[in-house]
Amino acid sequence: MKTFCLGLAVVLGIGAIANGCYMLYSPTGWYFAVPGVTTTGPFNQHFIRDIGLIFLFLGGAFLFGAARPQYRIIAWAAPTLWLWGHALFHFWEVAVGICGAAALARDFPAVTLPALLGTLIAVWAIGERRTAPNLNARTLS
């Protein structure tokens, strides 16, 4: 399970950083490439780049947690909280009629699934820390 969770953290980290880089480098390209984005409002380069920076930090946190076991819980829980906020916002948009329910299925791989996977690895990290509370960082890595 440990290898799976560490690998998953690396995949989440690299994916978030790649998305953030794309948003920063080509906000127009990102806007038109990601399914459903054009239906959420007009193109706003500044906003897309702002969110791109957030994705860089999210990805960095997942990678940092994979590399530094003593900080793993906070490094994985913090970005996961943001990912859940993002996912819940998408559910809210459906609930109030801004988007149709089909948007949830379309957005699931890029919005809700990362929040679920972040939760999985953060919960695993909590369990790992509880089973070995007196171990130093080198032992946990």
Taking only the tens place, the pLDDT of each residue in 65-120 is 999 999 999 999 999 999 999 999 999 999 999 999 999 999 999 999 999 999 99
Distance CA 76, CA 95 (A): 28
Q: Which residue has the tokens 């989440």?
A: 12
Query: Over 90: is that where the pLDDT of 140 sits?
Result: no
Q: Which residues contact 78 (CB under 8 A, 6 or more apart)?
A: 61
Number of domain units in the chain: 1
Read off the pLDDT of each residue in 31-44 and give the average, rounded to a whole number: 93
- Round to whole Å and give the CA distance between 37 and 76: 26
Q: How confident is the model at residue 132 (pLDDT cuts 50, 70, 90)?
A: confident
> Which domain range does residue 80 map to?
2-140
Does residue 122 surpass a pLDDT of 60?
yes
- Residue among 18, 46, 22, 20 at smallest CA distance from 32: 22
What mean pLDDT is predicted for residues 14-24? 98
Would you say residue 40 has pLDDT above 90?
A: no
pTM score of the predicted model? 0.90
Which pLDDT belongs to residue 76?
Answer: 98
pLDDT for 131 equals 87
